[in-house]
Structure 1
Amino acid sequence: MPDAAGQAYAAQAPAPLGQFVPVEGSVPTTPHLAPTPPSPLSVPPEYFTPEPEAAGDGSDVPAQQTADADQDPAAVPAGGLPEQAEAAPDTRQGADSAPDATPDAGQQPAATVPAPRDGDRPTAGPAGAAPAPVDAVEDGSPFPSAPATTDPDEPMHAPHPAGPTDPAHQSGQQPAPAVLIEDGPEDLTDLTDLTAPAAPADADGGPEPLPLTTDTVDPAVPADAAAATDANATDVNAPADTTDAPDVPGKPVVPGAADAAAASATDAAAPDTAEAEAETETEAEDAASVANAAVAAGALREAGEEPAANTPEQAAQAEQAAAQAEQAAQAEPPAPDSLAADPDEAEPLPADGSVEPLADGSVEPPAPGYADAEREAVLRVMRERRDIRNGFRGDPIPHEVLLRVLEAAHTAPSVGHSQPWDFVVIKSAETRRTMHELAQRQREAYAKSLPKGRAKQFKELKIEAILDTPVNIVVTADPTRGGRHTLGRHTQPQMAPYSSALAVENLWLAARAEGLGVGWVSFFDEREMVRALGLPEHLEVVAYLCVGYVDEFPEEPELMQAGWSKRRPLSWVVHEETYGRRALPGEDPHDLLAETVSNIRPLDAKALGEAWERQKRMTKPAGALGMLEIISAQLSGLSRMCPPPIPEPAAVAIFAGDHGVHAQGVTSWPQEVTGQMVANFLGGGAVCNAFANQVGAEVCVIDVGVAGELPATPGLLPRKIRPGTADMTTGPALTREEVKAAIEVGIETARDLVAAGNKALLTGEMGIANTTASAALISVYTDTDPVEVTGRGTGINDEMHARKVEVVRRALDLHQPDPADPVGVLAAIGGLEHAAMVGLLLGGASLRTPVILDGVSAGAAALVARAIAPEVLAACIAGHRSAEPGHVAALNKLGLRPLVDLDLRLGEGTGALLALPVVQSAARAMHEVATFDSAGVTEK
């Protein structure tokens, strides 16, 4: 190939594999992509000069010559485009006038190309002229890109120069033959099944190509007839069926009888047999990687195929050639046949002949997934897996069933393929009785550790079925298995039990598929179990499983049915790129605060009305329970049911944080007391602990901004946004981002506690100097002078109180906070615990869970929360009225009536804890008090 052609083509940007790149004046077709033995064609020297060193420089790219607009129409041999089956309707106007193509003495006859329509661009130089240098292929041209390199030993063929395409020369002009280039036999593929015409070219493609016209092969015609038809391409005086082909410029026409190309190509110029066999072996090695690329690179084929037959004798010869080609193909099938025979290697291609490359640039199809029914079966067994405690049967488990379950467990993934698990199968009644006794002792110890409300709930649960099941399986983890250098455990030695847990999951799913229930028992002292079972001391017990047939698999997990916990939505736990950027696949990231606010709704009117009606029918005078009747109606409207659920169990969330304003001398307590009191809460020695034990509530402490570092302790949630706020008298206490982060901590705390089964939330806080920030917030939202809402907090004297009032006033004068911007208000003068309590209120309201407010700091947070979402008050109950003057102002502004008024000013959630039994009593009355009708009591 001339150097100019290779350089010009290499200069352009390479087209993606599998996409046709249009070239002026030609429409590629797909029949030449049919499996064909390698057939090198002898080309006169004036068209091609071989250059062995051109293998890697792109010189193998087919060169389609271009010319001026006054050139004669090109004639294309039938062998070069054997199945140009569907021609443009516009070409019919020249079909009646063009003469039959008559082959010269030493040249093969060719089917001619009709004159272009008005505006079509010519493609070739005058007949007999020397080939012009090949221009770079224009963007949008219909030829595909060729592979970057090719074997220098492969034959390459330059096209014969074509005649002019001027319509004036259409009639009576003898067109010269033209030949398309053979890229190489490795780019072949079987497109026999592709019968649909190609899609139209893109609107922004290159110049409109010249449509070619040959005989149309009816897709319904048998393969033999199709072969004969393709081997006998006629001139433009074609049968009428060619006029039915649509005009599809710029894309390949796919006629669908590609096997005929193999037949017609067999009798072309005979190649060297040894060379053909060697090239066929090369094709077989590269077949998998070029199956789809063949469509892109194979649009340019060699033209040394059987000439068109316009006589019965020639037609008979073509049929004989087709039969010989079939025999040859069966005796020595080329590599593309194997691709077509393997459905995994040769997937059906799009009708337009294009193949989109994968994201990683490869053309291999991805590994297939399961069929719909199989996939649904896999997902179903995951959805319907249950932790079973009740309903086991005594039916024995067949050995083959148990073996399948254990095999599934043994195929689990493991870090470094260490397979650290062992399975101890226990059937002995004596051993199971021993294990049952161990579990009972641990159950009793756990029950004593629970808050009263939880302990009562736990007492009603069945936690194990050791004696009820015929088989128990102990799953262990051996942390030494695999040796010291086990892959993946160098920095994470806990991967051994993690891997064994995956084996448990496999076992569980396989058991569900077999109709076996499984219950995981974790009420064991591990070392005690190891000794009781006689296990090696170095083993870790991962799971004790009770396995057996069951009466039924419940629709919901048993713990959900018992109200012990709730299922967390998927949207809560999926993060995009970074933690906290929540987004499900295919969705935009959503703001946690905005999502929470959007889920807050007013009280349910129907349930509210039912509650008021029931209050009237209860065996008591109307209104006799005072505030309890209001609370019970509120609980009904919030839960959307009457009578409402009793708010038990409950949890108090104590948010702890320090304040930079402490430096202004607003309290006599040192700042480190905040961290010390947090430790006291966790140790169970604070007032809030005593009250929580009394009413049966759980104490949950959240470090959202303690200045000092707190050690990891059970019951402490480390959620520190920053170590205390800045001094609000010298600048903003927080940034807006920190405020939002603290609000999200509160929302997530509400979600966690409610998902754990709590039916009421209580606010609590701890932070030296937080009443100063509370007074500032209340002053903003009640439009009250700081002196009226600033209290004595921890018992300060008059001098310090006056300083505290002045500090609040200075902060407000500095920031001039806008009540319409609640996040901005918190950033200017708020505390981290205030922002977190705002989130707790919003989160509880969005989950339709009652939130009992504590003292002045909770009141300040409620004012901010109402500014964000006014309907949040539907979930709020004022637990008590603090001695702080600001709290009274806040409650009045909120319109909330406190349940307890004992001049408390401690915080920690103490007032809310005292109010909890009152709220529970209001709901219990709705459940247990009879109506006049049911009790047979006469109404007045």
Structure 2
Amino acid sequence: MMRERRDIRKGFRTDPIPHEVLLRVLEAAHTAPSVGHSQPWDFVVIRSAETRRTMHELAQKQREAYAKSLPKGRAKQFKELKIEAILDTPVNIVVTADPTRGGRHTLGRHTQPQMAPYSSALAVENLWLAARAEGLGVGWVSFFDEREMVRALGLPEHLEVVAYLCVGYVDEFPEEPELMQAGWSQRRPLAWVVHEETYGRRALPGEAPHDLLSETVASIRPLDAKALGEAWERQKRMTKPAGALGMLEIISAQLSGLSRVCPPPIPEPAAVAIFAGDHGVHAQGVTPWPQEVTTQMVANFLGGGAVCNAFANQVGAEVCVIDVGVAGDLPATPGLLPRKVRPGTDDLSVGPAMSREEAIAAIEVGIETARDLVAAGNKALLTGEMGIANTTVSAALISVFTGVDPAEVTGRGTGINDETHARKVEVVRRALELHQPDPADPIGVLAAIGGLEHAAIVGLLLGGASLRTPVILDGVSAGAAALVARAIAPEALSACIAGHRSAEPGHVAALNKLGLRPLVDLDLRLGEGTGALLALPLVQSAARAMHEVATFDSAGVTEK
């Protein structure tokens, strides 16, 4: 019964619900457990067409407001979703929570006053399961301003609305949740969310704890040969000269092999993950920018005022900012994921940047971010980063994995003068001499000379590859991270697309070593995911062409 329960929005019938059936459903809800046996719930049963029209109008207003807040890629997808069935169902039920019920000394609410709505949520679950047993569909509507709803329904002002439920008989119960069928989201596997004893120590009952990094690497597979072959065959039959789309033909074949289907899914919606961290090597004077700029720019990203925000708005991508190692404290803000491993690295020129355990923890932040974004329905991931002095770290990593001298891979970052550039090269050289990093031990390299945001990008690439989701790489920091990811799992590159070529010389060396050809070359050197964002429409166009361009046979066009 629990596996068959569904949040229903479509396919309701107009059949009335017999009183005895509705009574059984409400009795089941009323037998729910509650903290301190407080039973804080009330159920307002609505049948009036006039009241339901009023509630429908309130929901529509909030739907429109939500749609305006979405990135274009998500908004296009949301437009096709049915989000409520207020007018389609004979009965609506409002479930409330009374935080005052039982008085001030209600058992279990002394330190956790939110137990009242939590208890009412248990009543919702009971109601839902009982309805399913009676053959009734239930749809939960959350597109309301709570206080507006309270006033419209004439509820006492002190009540909290926990759920607005649409209830009625349905033609069928879908095998999968409607949002999964629409591609809005995916179900997270149980193994992702069960922890033994401590958070992060993942283990299902009866199984030994598993290492997230090892599990991710083990699940990375090569491109699917069958889908690759079908993609190249389709390219030959499309109404264009063979090879006329150049790199886009290679990208479309890669997307087919990655998704195991031809034509491949169009990589939309997409999200850029901007990992932010600070660097102890800043103390060596490798940049004139103060370290607090990292914190300030994170606030700028979250406020929508950075270049990455403008580009993301243009191409319809979501901006996700992850604090993996910012030195300053960041207040809780919508759009910020607080995943700080430590407040910045140590100075790599005088000692290890971080411990091996911290490097792995930062990689796992990236893996978890990939999982979260893909489970939320994103079809493409883009890399981004923020961290004053991070091009020094990138140069060191690239030098190790390409074997190119530090002087040839160390660039001018934010536009430093000759004196600072010479100092920067010397700092990189000194760090490599101190640590003698071994490229055969990529995690050891990260721990010695890496950055927390670099490690997190490594995790994003590995996570994206394990989920067979394309990852569009940004600039020099992404290139450095891709070198590390390849050393950990060579097949991870099958998910990677080089968005652009940075003006930083190290990025050219990294791309050459990786064998990746960039889609855009505009002398960019900003970071933030800007180059990857500019490349996103090209990648989407490559997939769309496979779907929409006719073949010679279907269009009746004569081949040469």
TM-score normalised to the size of structure 2? Answer: 1.00
Shift of residue 740, structure 1, vs aligned partner:
0.5
Shift of residue 529, structure 1, vs aligned partner:
0.2
CA distance in 1, matches of 2:108, 2:329: 32
Deviations 1:534-582, CA, capped at 9 Å, x for gaps: 0000000000000000000000000000000000000000001100000
For 1:73-112, what aligned pairs fall within 5 Å after superposition? none
CA distance in 1, matches of 2:307, 2:354: 30
Shift of residue 586, structure 1, vs aligned partner:
0.3
Deviations 1:724-748, CA, capped at 9 Å, x for gaps: 0000111100000000000000000
Shift of residue 646, structure 1, vs aligned partner:
0.1
Deviations 1:821-841, CA, capped at 9 Å, x for gaps: 011000000000000000000
**Larger-Rg structure:** 1
Equivalenced residues, count: 560
* Structure 2, unaligned runs of 5 or more: none
Shift of residue 678, structure 1, vs aligned partner:
0.2
What is the DSSP-based 3-state SS (H/G/I as helix, E as strand, rest coil) of the residue aligned with 1:729?
coil
Deviations 1:580-613, CA, capped at 9 Å, x for gaps: 0000000000000000000000000000000000
CA distance in 1, matches of 2:348, 2:245: 45
CA distance in 2, matches of 1:492, 1:742: 32
Shift of residue 531, structure 1, vs aligned partner:
0.1
- Partner residue in 1 for 2:377: 757
- Partner residue in 2 for 1:653: 273
What is the DSSP-based 3-state SS (H/G/I as helix, E as strand, rest coil) of the residue aligned with 1:880?
coil
Shift of residue 426, structure 1, vs aligned partner:
0.3
CA distance in 2, matches of 1:455, 1:547: 27
What is the DSSP-based 3-state SS (H/G/I as helix, E as strand, rest coil) of the residue aligned with 2:521?
strand
- Say if 2:554 is the partner of 1:931: no
CA distance in 2, matches of 1:795, 1:938: 55
What is the DSSP-based 3-state SS (H/G/I as helix, E as strand, rest coil) of the residue aligned with 2:149?
helix
CA distance in 2, matches of 1:876, 1:768: 25
What is the DSSP-based 3-state SS (H/G/I as helix, E as strand, rest coil) of the residue aligned with 1:852?
strand
Q: Which has the higher helix share?
A: 2
Deviations 1:445-487, CA, capped at 9 Å, x for gaps: 0000000000000000000000000000000000001110111
CA distance in 2, matches of 1:485, 1:933: 77
Shift of residue 860, structure 1, vs aligned partner:
0.1
Which protein has greater RCO, CA pairs closer than 8 Å, 6+ apart?
2
Match 1:870 to one of 477, 481, 490 = 490
Deviations 1:392-440, CA, capped at 9 Å, x for gaps: 0000001110000000000111111100000000000000000000000
CA distance in 2, matches of 1:485, 1:778: 62
CA distance in 2, matches of 1:636, 1:908: 28
Match 1:858 to one of 462, 467, 478 = 478
What is the DSSP-based 3-state SS (H/G/I as helix, E as strand, rest coil) of the residue aligned with 2:420?
helix
CA distance in 2, matches of 1:401, 1:466: 20
Shift of residue 647, structure 1, vs aligned partner:
0.1
CA distance in 2, matches of 1:729, 1:889: 22
Shift of residue 642, structure 1, vs aligned partner:
0.2
CA distance in 1, matches of 2:350, 2:40: 59
Q: Runs of 4+ in structure 1 displaced over 2 angstroms?
A: none
Match 1:896 to one of 505, 508, 516 = 516
CA distance in 2, matches of 1:415, 1:872: 48
Deviations 1:95-143, CA, capped at 9 Å, x for gaps: xxxxxxxxxxxxxxxxxxxxxxxxxxxxxxxxxxxxxxxxxxxxxxxxx
CA distance in 2, matches of 1:530, 1:663: 56
CA distance in 2, matches of 1:594, 1:848: 17
CA distance in 2, matches of 1:867, 1:542: 49
What is the DSSP-based 3-state SS (H/G/I as helix, E as strand, rest coil) of the residue aligned with 1:447?
helix
Shift of residue 697, structure 1, vs aligned partner:
0.1
What is the DSSP-based 3-state SS (H/G/I as helix, E as strand, rest coil) of the residue aligned with 2:430?
helix
Deviations 1:28-83, CA, capped at 9 Å, x for gaps: xxxxxxxxxxxxxxxxxxxxxxxxxxxxxxxxxxxxxxxxxxxxxxxxxxxxxxxx
CA distance in 2, matches of 1:841, 1:413: 44
CA distance in 1, matches of 2:454, 2:324: 10
CA distance in 2, matches of 1:919, 1:872: 18
CA distance in 1, matches of 2:293, 2:203: 40
- Partner residue in 1 for 2:164: 544
Shift of residue 703, structure 1, vs aligned partner:
0.1
Shift of residue 708, structure 1, vs aligned partner:
0.4
What is the DSSP-based 3-state SS (H/G/I as helix, E as strand, rest coil) of the residue aligned with 2:249?
helix
- Partner residue in 2 for 1:834: 454
Shift of residue 503, structure 1, vs aligned partner:
0.4
CA distance in 1, matches of 2:102, 2:234: 68
Deviations 1:786-810, CA, capped at 9 Å, x for gaps: 0000000010000000000000000
Match 1:612 to one of 203, 225, 232 = 232
CA distance in 2, matches of 1:489, 1:464: 33
CA distance in 1, matches of 2:528, 2:216: 26
CA distance in 1, matches of 2:33, 2:505: 63
CA distance in 2, matches of 1:412, 1:798: 71
What is the DSSP-based 3-state SS (H/G/I as helix, E as strand, rest coil) of the residue aligned with 1:394?
coil
* Structure 1, unaligned runs of 5 or more: 1-380
What is the DSSP-based 3-state SS (H/G/I as helix, E as strand, rest coil) of the residue aligned with 1:480?
coil
Shift of residue 530, structure 1, vs aligned partner:
0.1
For 1:21-36, what aligned pairs fall within 5 Å after superposition? none
What is the DSSP-based 3-state SS (H/G/I as helix, E as strand, rest coil) of the residue aligned with 2:414?
coil
Deviations 1:676-734, CA, capped at 9 Å, x for gaps: 00000000000000000000000000000000000000000000000000001111000
- Partner residue in 2 for 1:598: 218
Question: Once superposed, what is the RMSD of the aligned Cα atoms?
Answer: 0.3
CA distance in 2, matches of 1:472, 1:906: 52
CA distance in 2, matches of 1:868, 1:406: 55
Shift of residue 873, structure 1, vs aligned partner:
0.5
Shift of residue 667, structure 1, vs aligned partner:
0.2
CA distance in 2, matches of 1:621, 1:728: 52
Deviations 1:169-226, CA, capped at 9 Å, x for gaps: xxxxxxxxxxxxxxxxxxxxxxxxxxxxxxxxxxxxxxxxxxxxxxxxxxxxxxxxxx
Match 2:410 to one of 790, 796, 809 = 790
Shift of residue 869, structure 1, vs aligned partner:
0.1
What is the DSSP-based 3-state SS (H/G/I as helix, E as strand, rest coil) of the residue aligned with 1:628?
helix
What is the DSSP-based 3-state SS (H/G/I as helix, E as strand, rest coil) of the residue aligned with 1:923?
helix
What is the DSSP-based 3-state SS (H/G/I as helix, E as strand, rest coil) of the residue aligned with 2:523?
strand
CA distance in 1, matches of 2:165, 2:395: 56
CA distance in 2, matches of 1:413, 1:458: 35
- Partner residue in 1 for 2:296: 676
What is the DSSP-based 3-state SS (H/G/I as helix, E as strand, rest coil) of the residue aligned with 1:464?
coil
Deviations 1:743-776, CA, capped at 9 Å, x for gaps: 0000000000000000000000000000000000
Match 2:86 to one of 449, 452, 466 = 466
Shift of residue 933, structure 1, vs aligned partner:
0.1
Deviations 1:617-656, CA, capped at 9 Å, x for gaps: 0000000000000000000000000000000000000000
TM-score normalised to the size of structure 1? Answer: 0.60
CA distance in 2, matches of 1:494, 1:792: 53
CA distance in 2, matches of 1:569, 1:629: 34
Shift of residue 909, structure 1, vs aligned partner:
0.1
CA distance in 2, matches of 1:449, 1:638: 31
Identical-residue share of aligned pairs (%): 94
What is the DSSP-based 3-state SS (H/G/I as helix, E as strand, rest coil) of the residue aligned with 2:541?
helix
CA distance in 2, matches of 1:880, 1:797: 25
Shift of residue 918, structure 1, vs aligned partner:
0.2
What is the DSSP-based 3-state SS (H/G/I as helix, E as strand, rest coil) of the residue aligned with 1:883?
coil
Deviations 1:233-254, CA, capped at 9 Å, x for gaps: xxxxxxxxxxxxxxxxxxxxxx
Deviations 1:485-522, CA, capped at 9 Å, x for gaps: 11111111111100000100000000000000000000
CA distance in 1, matches of 2:32, 2:324: 40
For 1:176-191, what aligned pairs fall within 5 Å after superposition? none
What is the DSSP-based 3-state SS (H/G/I as helix, E as strand, rest coil) of the residue aligned with 1:881?
coil
CA distance in 2, matches of 1:893, 1:651: 27
